[in-house]
Amino acid sequence: MILIADSDTAFAEELVRELKSLAIDAQVAKGGEEALQCLRALVPQVLLVALGNDSGLSLCSALQALPEVKHTPMVVRIPDGELASLPAAIGAGATDFVLTSDSPAIVARRLACAMRSAHRIKQLDEQCSSLVLSQRIVRMGHWEFVVGQDDLHCSGEARRILGLDDGSEDLMLDDLLSRIPIDQREGFNEWLNSVATGKSTSPLEHSVHHVDGNFRVVRQDAEVLCGLTDRRTRVTGVVQDLTERRQAEAKVQFLNEHDSLTGLANRQQFIERTEAALVEARKSGAHPSVLCLDLNQFKAIAGLLPDRASDMLLVAIARRLRDGLREYDTVAHVSTRVAEASIARIRGDEFTLLLPDLKRAADSVRVGRRVLDVLAEPFEVDGQEVYVTASIGVSSYPADGQSSEELLKRAETAAYCSRQQGRNTILFYSPSMNAKAVERLTLETGLRRALERNELAVYYQPRIEIATGNMLGFEALVRWRHPELGLVSPAQFIPLAEETGLIVPIGEWIMQTACEQCRQWQDQGLEPIRMAVNLSAVQFRQPDLFDSVIQILRDTRLDPKWLEMELTESILMQNPDQARKALQQLKSEGIHLSIDDFGTGYSSLAYLKRFPIDALKIDQTFIRELTTNADDAAIATSIILLGRSLKLRVVAEGVETPSQLAFLRVMQCDEAQGYLFSPAVDAKEARRFLDGTRKFHTAA
């Protein structure tokens, strides 16, 4: 719409008609008052104001002062002889003029032009402000300077990003340079030069220091423009603030490289650091070494702690390693200082250290000892004192491996063997370790899956009353049908299961299976027999042992009197008072209890009397040479006598020959078990014993 403020009614009407023919709306106001009133209802795109008297000029000023039409083009209509008043009109806001002699048709076309360019300007304006807004959102600004001149034009956002928004109007290139850290200035200048000379358009990343201490990372993209309107060469650039993005990336990288629980480096990071140390060592001749420390019995310890406390323990261990290995050992010539970044937790309870610049591989022992010392003091976790010991394995470049993976693997192997030799040992890798360790590792991984994959089975070995030849029960013995290794002996995998804590679910499964089998035979109408199940030390220490046994008996509907639990002396002697209470609880349910491998430990007779047990099982090592070795015969005899005096039944294990049996019969041993009668057999074969007479030949 065009507003026409002109008292020349004839002209105004003619003009409105002309405009209409150009499809432009117009409104006529006769005087200033009326014009201002019109503005309240509608905002025009162009104003036409007739001059010729003072009121025209003052109307111009009044319109110019209104915010709605401040930027609206204002064309003045000047009488032909009064062109001299044009400057005053421009001062009052006029942007163009027509003469009174101009025909309405011409004036209409001039107004149409003004309207079109007003529209264009408005569009540009809008684009410009949305550009400013989007640049602010993406934290991007632009700048420009003319090559050869030093003044720099920066958008508001560019000023903010570069720390140049201190209010000064004129900026120089030097102002920007002064914000760039000294060591990056030369790089910036070189980059700017190569952009200005058209050699490069690649971006540059650098930092800027703001006066308030704020520090930003920015990316600059720039191009050279050869002047369109003049012959000057300009460089125009876009600066983007990458600080937040870089911080987020750094955080992601930290998380990628570190163990989230302890904040130590993770396996990946450790491998990379080791690789870097190897690169150095190839030049310097150093012997970088990898120490792998394996926490002994960690699973068992963790099992005794409340939820999350084992995590707290790992965090505490990490902290100790970090703090304890930080200081220099000034007395010895070898430093035991290990940079924090060289300590890693590579999995569960396995920590590693990298000693990047050892002169001699043997020096790593000092660090190993220091680690053991650092861990020796008890940890306080959740109000409990916890003792942690470690086994350490060491591998060194170049003797034990050429790559970081190889060194790490071999240090792990050495740690594995070190654990076998007892706690607090430090072992160097040797090639002979490998085969054994690999076998154990294969077993360990396999064992984790054995339960799920149904590879475990329970076998049953009969127990016979010597005096009558009657079969009284079975001992349940677990078997592992390994998919590649065949039948693996429990003597091999039970210790492994104990170390890894897997014995708890495995042991429960065995007891469940044996109890279930025992009751099934009863359900099939067979005369009940007793089922003896072995209990590992780790299981015995579980606080919920009693509950889980009761639960199994309930689930399988087996009367507790048909269950016997075999425990070793060492289990009972570790904490006799506690053991006695636990046994009493089980006993009070009617469960039978026996001491397995009797004679190999060092039971205190005093305690033995106080344990509510039913039977002693003479360890098979004494039975093996019973008839040829006088010492063994004496031990077996005294166990039988001891049992009799304490009113306990005595069972001889591993009876293989008739002469062994004859000896036991003469000594009035109560029961026997061994290959002479039968090895442990699967459930199907065991049932055949139950179907028959259940009698074995034991008479002389």
Alpha-carbon distance of 589 to 400, in angstroms, equals 57
Look at residues 81, 216, 194 and name the one whose alpha carbon lies nearest to residue 141: 216
Return the range that interacts with ligand C2E (CB under 6 A); candidates 65-73, 171-179, 489-497, 515-523.
489-497
Return the range that interacts with Ca ion (CB under 5 A); candidates 76-84, 462-470, 566-574, 691-699.
566-574
Q: How many CB atoms lie within 10 A of CB 480?
A: 22
User: Per CB under 6 A, does 486 bind ligand C2E?
Assistant: no
CA torsion 231-233-234-235 (nearest 10°) is 160
The interface partner of residue 567, options being ligand C2E, Ca ion, none and the CB cut-off 5 to 8 Å by kind, is none
User: Per CB under 6 A, does 490 bind ligand C2E?
Assistant: yes
CB-based contacts of 208, cutoff 8 Å, min separation 6: 161, 162, 163, 179, 180, 181, 215, 216, 218
User: Per CB under 6 A, does 596 bind ligand C2E?
Assistant: yes
Encoded one letter per residue, x for contact with Ca ion by CB under 5 A and - for no contact, window 515-534 reads -------------------x
CA angle 201, 202, 208 (to 5 degrees): 115
The interface partner of residue 215, options being Ca ion, ligand C2E, none and the CB cut-off 5 to 8 Å by kind, is none
SS3 assignment, position 312: helix
The interface partner of residue 461, options being Ca ion, ligand C2E, none and the CB cut-off 5 to 8 Å by kind, is ligand C2E
519, 557 in Cβ contact below 8 A? yes
175 versus 596: smaller Cβ distance to Ca ion: 596
Q: Using H for helix, E for strand and C for coil, what is the string for 531-573? A: EEEECCHHHHHCCCHHHHHHHHHHHHCCCHHHEEEEEEHHHHH
379 versus 509: smaller Cβ distance to ligand C2E: 509
Which of 240, 500, 534, 637 contacts ligand C2E by CB under 6 A?
A: 534
Q: Is the dihedral of CA 367, 302, 573, 578 positive or negative?
A: positive
The interface partner of residue 368, options being Ca ion, ligand C2E, none and the CB cut-off 5 to 8 Å by kind, is none
Least distance (Å) between residue 497 CB and ligand C2E: 8
CA angle 663, 668, 672 (to 5 degrees): 70
User: Per CB under 6 A, does 597 bind ligand C2E?
Assistant: yes
User: Per CB under 6 A, does 599 bind ligand C2E?
Assistant: no
Which of 241, 564, 596, 671 contacts Ca ion by CB under 5 A?
A: 596
Q: How many residues bind Ca ion (CB under 5 A)?
A: 5
Alpha-carbon distance of 415 to 393, in angstroms, equals 4
Least distance (Å) between residue 671 CB and Ca ion: 13
The interface partner of residue 72, options being ligand C2E, Ca ion, none and the CB cut-off 5 to 8 Å by kind, is none
User: Per CB under 5 A, does 566 bind Ca ion?
Assistant: yes
User: Per CB under 5 A, does 175 bind Ca ion?
Assistant: no
683, 522 in Cβ contact below 8 A? no
Which of 157, 363, 412, 597 contacts Ca ion by CB under 5 A?
A: 597
User: Per CB under 6 A, does 462 bind ligand C2E?
Assistant: no
Which of 477, 552, 582, 616 contacts ligand C2E by CB under 6 A?
A: 477
Cα 52 to Cα 5, 104, 328, distances in angstroms:
12, 17, 97
Least distance (Å) between residue 417 CB and Ca ion: 27
191 versus 493: smaller Cβ distance to ligand C2E: 493
User: How crowded is the C-beta side of 442, counted as CA atoms within 13 Å?
Assistant: 11
User: Per CB under 6 A, does 141 bind ligand C2E?
Assistant: no
Question: Angle formed by the axes of helices 683-691 and 503-523, to 10°?
Answer: 30
Q: Round the CA-based radius of gyration of the chain to a whole number and report it.
A: 47
User: Per CB under 6 A, does 400 bind ligand C2E?
Assistant: no
Task: For the segment 615-654, give every residue that binds Ca ion (CB under 5 A).
Answer: 653
Alpha-carbon distance of 154 to 170, in angstroms, equals 9
Alpha-carbon distance of 82 to 538, in angstroms, equals 113
Cα 487 to Cα 79, 493, 506, distances in angstroms:
118, 11, 17
Least distance (Å) between residue 696 CB and ligand C2E: 13
56 versus 473: smaller Cβ distance to ligand C2E: 473
591, 564 in Cβ contact below 8 A? yes
Least distance (Å) between residue 392 CB and ligand C2E: 29
Least distance (Å) between residue 300 CB and ligand C2E: 14
Q: How many CB atoms lie within 10 A of CB 700?
A: 7
CB-based contacts of 337, cutoff 8 Å, min separation 6: 325, 326, 327, 328, 329
Which of 235, 314, 680, 686 contacts ligand C2E by CB under 6 A?
A: 680
Q: Which residue's beta carbon is nearest to the bound ligand C2E?
A: 674
User: Per CB under 6 A, does 651 bind ligand C2E?
Assistant: no
Look at residues 558, 601, 552 and name the one whose alpha carbon lies nearest to residue 576: 601
Least distance (Å) between residue 246 CB and ligand C2E: 56
Q: How many residues bind ligand C2E (CB under 6 A)?
A: 24
Task: For the segment 183-202, give every residue that binds ligand C2E (CB under 6 A).
Answer: none
314 versus 488: smaller Cβ distance to ligand C2E: 488
508 versus 597: smaller Cβ distance to Ca ion: 597
Please list the residues that pair with 153 across neighbouring strands: 144
Cα 537 to Cα 217, 498, 507, 573, 700, distances in angstroms:
60, 8, 11, 11, 39
User: Per CB under 5 A, does 294 bind Ca ion?
Assistant: no
Task: For the segment 548-567, give every residue that binds ligand C2E (CB under 6 A).
Answer: none
User: Per CB under 6 A, does 698 bind ligand C2E?
Assistant: no
Helix ranges, 32-181 (H): 32-41, 54-65, 86-91, 104-137, 156-162, 173-179
Least distance (Å) between residue 507 CB and ligand C2E: 6
Which of 674, 686, 696, 698 contacts ligand C2E by CB under 6 A?
A: 674
Alpha-carbon distance of 29 to 9, in angstroms, equals 9
Return the range that interacts with Ca ion (CB under 5 A); candidates 136-144, 191-199, 374-382, 594-602.
594-602
Which of 8, 144, 625, 656 contacts ligand C2E by CB under 6 A?
A: 656
Summarize as ranges the residues that interact with Ca ion (CB under 5 A): 534, 566, 596-597, 653
Kindly list the residues in this chain that would bind ligand C2E in the complex (CB under 6 A): 461, 476-478, 489-491, 494, 507, 510, 534-536, 596-597, 620, 653-656, 673-675, 680
